[in-house]
């Protein structure tokens, strides 16, 4: 997938009401969501959103109910018209597309997976899976071939002739995912796609998505209110509150360096061992490296602790992308980092003894 499949959200505002554009500057100048509603009867949906969504990665947008996350994702395919701002994809501003160009963009460049499945009840599983690509004008034979292939990939081989009401919630969402993948779109928009599922089924769907992404490298925008889900799926995370981005970065960035008390409260119960990477806590190699287990700098503390325990060693060598030793970690340091803030760069630069 080309590198230009990233998405740029620039200065995006959404003010719900008949005269939204009139109040953009007032919001820029500091008018709050409560003041806007009380004084002018308008509702602030999004405030000056600036996010660079990386190509071929999973960008998670998270926040509590009413934070603006679902409003945001619907600006990417312009299901909601912006009050101000730009949404740039492959050099084009989606907000300025005419109706014909926007229709082509929706049909060929994006696919959406909804929380409530949004399946057509009168269509079979196969009929639902091929619906989007059918609208693209693809031949019926190719539509069916594509749909059957993706249904099999998400574990629904043999269910092609069933109807949605004959399937469990998890199976229905697999149909929704297969439909999106059948479209072969560059952008996959997932609006709380797994939120309605039971916990075990939800984790299963998360694994399916990660496995597929490892192969397909789609540009995915994933909406959730669940931090554990965000940390598991997201290459990058943006946290919203009252329509405004409070913090964005990698999961590790957010857990280690919360921007304010609101974020700190979000992450206080996070399992740090699954989030923090060994590259963050490694120190220069001291002594011979031969005979010690090795692991990637992007491995989690949990993976490091498991490796050291299994191998019966108290030290491991951390490898870079080129396979060369970049540093080392010790079991003591791994355990300390699981429960306490990671030391500063100055501290970790000193060899461990």
pLDDT digits (tens, 9 = 90+) for 159-210: 999 999 999 989 999 999 999 999 999 999 999 999 888 988 999 999 999 9
Which position has the token pair 């460049």?
A: 109
pLDDT class of 351 with cuts at 50, 70, 90? very low
- Provide the 3-class DSSP secondary structure of residue 278: helix
Q: Which of 35, 75, 18 is nearest to 26 (CA)?
A: 35
Quickly count: other Cβ atoms within 10 Å of residue 139's Cβ. Answer: 10
Asked if residue 170 lies in contact with residue 198, where contact means CB atoms within 8 angstroms, the answer is yes
Average the pLDDT over 269-273 and give the result: 86
The pTM of the full predicted model, rounded to 2 decimals, is 0.87
- Cα(97)–Cα(103) distance, integer angstroms: 9
Give span(s): CATH 3.40.50.300, the chain.
Answer: 3-109+185-270
- Cα(188)–Cα(111) distance, integer angstroms: 5
User: Would you say residue 45 has pLDDT above 70?
Assistant: yes
Q: What is the CATH T-level fold of the domain 3-109+185-270, as seen in this structure?
A: Rossmann fold (3.40.50)
pLDDT tens per residue, range 139-161:
999 999 999 999 999 999 999 99
Pick the CATH number of 273-348 from 3.40.50.150, 3.40.50.800, 3.90.1280.20, 1.10.3720.10: 3.90.1280.20
Give span(s): CATH 3.90.1280.20, the chain.
Answer: 273-348
| Cα first-last separation, the chain | 45
């Amino acid at each position: 997938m080309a590198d230009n499949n990233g998405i740029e959200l620039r200065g995006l505002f959404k003010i719900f009401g008949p005269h939204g554009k009139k109040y953009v500057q007032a919001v820029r100048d500091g008018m709050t969501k409560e003041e806007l509603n009380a004084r002018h009867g308008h509702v602030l949906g999004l405030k000056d959103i600036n996010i660079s969504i990386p190509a071929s990665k999973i960008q998670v947008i998270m926040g509590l109910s009413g934070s603006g996350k679902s409003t945001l994702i619907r600006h990417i395919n312009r299901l909601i018209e912006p009050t101000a701002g730009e949404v740039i994809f492959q050099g084009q501003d989606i907000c300025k597309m005419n109706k014909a160009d926007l229709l082509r963009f929706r049909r060929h460049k994006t696919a959406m997976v909804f929380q409530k499945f949004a399946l057509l009840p009168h269509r079979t599983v196969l009929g639902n899976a091929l619906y989007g690509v059918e609208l693209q004008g693809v031949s019926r034979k190719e539509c069916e071939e594509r749909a059957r292939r993706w249904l099999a990939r998400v574990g629904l081989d043999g269910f092609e002739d069933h109807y949605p009401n004959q399937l469990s919630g998890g199976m229905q969402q697999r149909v929704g995912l297969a439909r999106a993948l059948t479209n072969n779109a560059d952008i996959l928009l997932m609006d709380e796609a797994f939120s309605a599922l039971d916990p075990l089924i939800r984790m299963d769907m998360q694994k399916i998505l990660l496995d597929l992404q490892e192969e397909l490298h789609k540009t995915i925008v994933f909406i959730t209110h669940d931090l554990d889900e965000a940390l598991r799926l997201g290459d990058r995370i943006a946290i919203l509150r009252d329509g405004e981005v409070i913090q964005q970065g990698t999961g590790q960035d957010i857990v280690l360096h919360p921007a304010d008390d609101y974020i700190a409260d979000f992450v206080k119960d996070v399992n740090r061992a699954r989030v923090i990477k060994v590259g963050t806590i490694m120190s220069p190699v001291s002594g011979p490296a031969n005979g010690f287990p090795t692991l990637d700098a992007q491995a989690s503390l949990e993976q490091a602790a498991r490796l050291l325990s299994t191998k019966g060693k108290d030290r491991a060598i951390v490898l870079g992308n080129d396979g060369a030793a970049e540093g080392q970690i010790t079991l003591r340091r791994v355990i300390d980092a699981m429960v306490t803030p990671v030391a500063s760069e100055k501290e970790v630069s000193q060899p461990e003894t």
